[in-house]
Amino acid sequence: MYCLHCGKEIPDLAVNCPFCGSTQVEDAAPVSPETTAAAGSLRELSHRTRAKMLLIAALVCFFLPFITVSCTSEKDGKTYYSQSVSGFGLMNLGDSGLNLDTERDETEPAAELLKRLPNVCSIAAFGMGVIAVMLLFLGRHIRAAGRLAVCAAVCLILMGLFFFLLYSRYSPMREAMEESSKLLKVIYIRLRIGLLLSAGCFIAGAVFCFKDRPPGELY
């Protein structure tokens, strides 16, 4: 090969020219502002696309089982009934809600709120997820979409805590509640993969909505 500076023939693997001493590496071309802006746009588009995919996945998870309701005999401990309920099933529980404890007074506001909580949380989470996805596809208010995704995840987490504390056999409140309700002695509810996946996808989607964004930027 030939030296890039003096033009004399030098060995092919030479790093420096033995005649003029110059380095045989071409100077890197300067990066233009347009190129930098285009790279930033592609990076932002990638974050937005990932957020869309995660939030859509969170909504799809509503087709999966969220909880499993089972009835266990007090005598022999065998399970005689078990049914899985999806996220959409929790939205449509009828006028009575998830009213497993029939001994409670339905006129009490606290009892009414408890039996309605799964309906309200599931409907709110799905609705906020749909709005967040629409905002992302419109390409505006990305931060608002992230906030909605966080709120949807909080709704699902609250619903999971509700089921765990009231109906799980591992709940620290289980023994105290069984003293006031005979039905709770045989009713158990387990959280399923759909609820956990949906909450996780909402949180991950919110992270990508806020990723690489200056805190004071409005968009």
Average pLDDT of the chain is: 76
Which residues does the chain have with pLDDT short of 70?
1, 25-45, 74-77, 79, 93-115, 173-186, 212-219
Spatial distance between the Cα atoms of 114 and 127, rounded to a whole number of angstroms = 20
Fold of 47-210: Butyryl-CoA Dehydrogenase, subunit A; domain 3 (1.20.140)
What is the pTM assigned to this prediction? 0.67
pLDDT at 28: 42
Is 126 exposed, middle or buried, given 0-12, 13-18 or 19+ CB atoms closer than 10 A?
Answer: buried
Strand partners, 189: 69
Taking the CA of residue 176 as centre, how many other CA atoms within 13 Å lie in the half-sphere pointing to its CB? 5
* Per-domain residue ranges of the chain: 47-210
Give pLDDT tens digits for 98-116: 555 544 444 555 555 566 7
Spatial distance between the Cα atoms of 185 and 71, rounded to a whole number of angstroms = 9
Give pLDDT tens digits for 40-53: 554 555 788 889 99
Q: What is the DSSP letter of 215?
A: T
Spatial distance between the Cα atoms of 23 and 43, rounded to a whole number of angstroms = 35
Of all residues in the chain, the percent with pLDDT exceeding 90 is 26
pLDDT at 219: 41
CA 117 vs. chain centroid, Å, equals 20
CA 32 vs. chain centroid, Å, equals 38
